[in-house]
Amino acid sequence: MDSEETPHLLPNGDHVWVIKTSTASGLLPQMLERFRFGHDDPLIFGDAGQPEGVVVPFELWRALDTRVFDEEGFDTTYTIARARLADPTPSIPIEQVAAEFGWDLDEPIDDSEFRSK
């Protein structure tokens, strides 16, 4: 008997759990309830242990969709930065800013072009 969930190895070494499509369809009402309570972890589904689809909250999808057509994220970044600068409340931690922009602060950056030769 096939398992309802299968671990799938991503190129970066992380794992995601892939739920069988037939099982995922039955979980949709539960996912909707989770989204309503503020949980935004995705439901990843597919057949033969391969991720083929993802269910995410609508607002998260809208944010991602907007960034896809945003020239290198400039418009989104500029809008958020302007709103933050206009806001008199104290600044927020860099980790929270990175999460909002979808940046990975632990990702290595190739800065070789900026190093002195």
For the record, the structure tokens of 65 come out as: 């969709």
* 90-108 pLDDT tens trace: 777 888 888 888 888 888 8
For the record, the structure tokens of 62 come out as: 């809208």
Task: List Cβ neighbours of 70 (8 Å cut-off, separation of 6 or more).
Answer: 76
* 24-81 pLDDT tens trace: 999 999 999 999 999 989 999 999 889 999 999 998 888 887 766 666 667 777 787 7
Q: Shortest CA distance to 4 belongs to which of 16, 17, 15, 20?
A: 20
